[in-house]
Chain A
């Protein structure tokens, strides 16, 4: 679960990481009021979870109340990168002397926490990571010993901080670790961490919470219940059913069981010249009800021209899958061609259920994928 900038900054403040003064607004009027409190110049920042927000017009400096009005109304009415904006953060503008980068995350191959820090913070950090990896220092923290003073000293020294700034940065480094542990985060990032005339300030926040840990963080799981968090209607529906669903740009809907098999199904469609409209994994052991819901979700997607269902029944039963397909097709008014591939556990019963409903199916995944591409783009 990704947190919005304002949510992350609230946590930063709680852990004594300095952030600019500011306030949250849900309307243009509110944004103007916050701007009057903060003073001018100020910055209006759209609260969206997409990357590259600044370059897409989601961050604007305002010198007057009219500027705030113009910026906020544009954000609220047009959104940023196709994502609607529901809230904006209005903050004091600060004088930036220098921008740093600092974060803590998990290095999966080393199986350890790792701090990443750089003297070259700001919007181009990904490019720096790719072209100048030596400009990013890494300090690993063994999960069995946790953060120690020597780790902190190494990071502080590497960025060359001295005196009061060193002391301030020391506190920020420790706070990042504390936040990581306290909130079960898999990433806590400050980019940029700005050196200003008032010392160091976190100008942005990026926090991702480990989804597997949400059960022990009611503060986030409660939010999720009422908040769609930039998700499309299909994504919200998928989330409610507990499907792994990712919307893509194509026009052939795809349902599979198991993440690996579903990814391979996308690849098969692409291999035979089709464009996958989504990734949808119904998981292991899905009953008819879930299969039905998954299929309906794709049938209601206007972009989808045909659906490819690829199931290998290991724990999942083919008869349940077949029943779900038949029910979805008979109940849902929108008719779209489907190509089914069904093998494994209770394959014969599943096959019989499909045949009785007049639905043909394949046992070979390549044949089924080819057929899906054919029925999607004309033919048959």
Chain B
């Protein structure tokens, strides 16, 4: 079984009538994701690509009790409210695509979700895809992914597609690919996802795509130090040329006070036996070296 999303995933789309929400509902359906309902306040009774729309999550869950996962496309000023609504209605897995959620709201939301035992992926993330089961809860392009045995976890979007496609073309398909999001505060972090991959029988090796800023990579390295490298991991870190103190797009990608530099992350990874590719394409060479179960 892959992680987070699989063939048992039954999805609710929050913000289904918006531009992004309606477009990706169609694309996810085509890919194979089972979407039973959508919500959009005031738009109850409509349908989007044949998916019924409700005013509230409660109503959607009452009518479709099998729903167990939600994806949120709701605009930033209202996104937190949408996630609280899903948590309140008892949904335990929520993927938040929305970009630009205020930091303080995010902080409270993530703390609350943790208290309630709810898994949040994101915010500001491309979502999760499990190619072997043809389930996608996200916005990533299908072409980058093939079924296989590699778990990929990343803080970025396009760079993940890029690396996944290179691996797919080289014969390294994926069990699950998780974009945890580029904001300073995220629900799932590298450690959570790597731990899930370690416990997943279908995943034989892990690729971590990190970037400068924060200390998620350094913390993953100390986690590996304590539990051991239970499966081979290879990595790429973006932002080696970033000068200290400059923000590089992602709210997350900032180096300050000597923390979070590419150098410190690469050193941390290498010290626990995780080799770091010097270019995105070099990931393929590392995969050939480290993932030797035969392709």
Contact = CB atoms under 8 A, between A and B. Distances in A.
Contacts of B144: 314
Contacts of A181: 104
B245 interface: yes
Interface stretch (A28-36, A254-262, A322-330, A351-359): A254-262
A212 B252 CA distance: 13
Interface string B231-257: 000001011111101111111110001
A366 B249 contact: no
A109 B219 contact: yes
User: Which secondary structure dominates chain A's binding surface?
Assistant: mixed
A216 interface: yes
Given A210-B102, A259-B156, A366 B281 contact: yes
B141 A260 contact: no
B146 interface: no
B29 interface: no
B49 interface: no
A212 B160 contact: no
Interface residues of B, number: 62
Contact of B243 (A210, A248, A344): A248
A211 B101 CA distance: 10
A143 B111 contact: yes
Given A108-B185, A267-B239, A212 B101 contact: yes
B13 interface: no
A261 B258 CA distance: 23
Contacts of A144: 108, 111-112, 115
A259 B77 contact: no
A258 B140 CA distance: 13
A82 interface: no
A215 B77 CA distance: 8
A286 to B, nearest CB: 11
B33 interface: no
Interface string B93-106: 00000001111100
B81 to A, nearest CB: 14
User: Which secondary structure dominates chain B's binding surface?
Assistant: loop
A44 B236 CA distance: 48
* Candidate in A144, A184, A266, A315 with the most chain B CB atoms within 10 angstroms: A315
Nearest to B250: A259
B249 A264 contact: no
Interface in A266-316: 266-271, 276, 279, 281, 284, 312-316
A111 interface: yes
Nearest to A254: B241
B101 A257 contact: no
A51 B243 CA distance: 14
Nearest to A367: B281
B182 A260 contact: yes
Give the interface size bracket for A toward B.
Answer: 35 or more
B249 A262 contact: yes
A256 B248 CA distance: 12
A108 B249 CA distance: 17
A259 B254 CA distance: 12
A126 B252 CA distance: 20
A111 B249 contact: no
Contacts of A256: 158
A234 to B, nearest CB: 14
A264 B235 CA distance: 13
Interface string B114-141: 1100000000001000000000000111
A142 interface: yes
B229 interface: no
Interface of B: 76-77, 100-104, 107-108, 110-112, 114-115, 126, 139-141, 143-144, 154-162, 165, 182, 184-185, 209, 211-212, 214-216, 219, 236, 238-243, 245-253, 257-258, 278-281
12 contacts: A108-B214, A113-B107, A184-B103, A212-B251, A260-B209, A263-B241, A266-B239, A266-B241, A267-B240, A279-B242, A312-B161, A313-B141
Interface of A: 51, 106, 108-109, 111-113, 126, 129-130, 142-144, 181, 184, 186, 210-213, 215-216, 244, 246, 248-249, 256-264, 266-271, 276, 279, 281, 284, 312-316, 343-345, 364-366
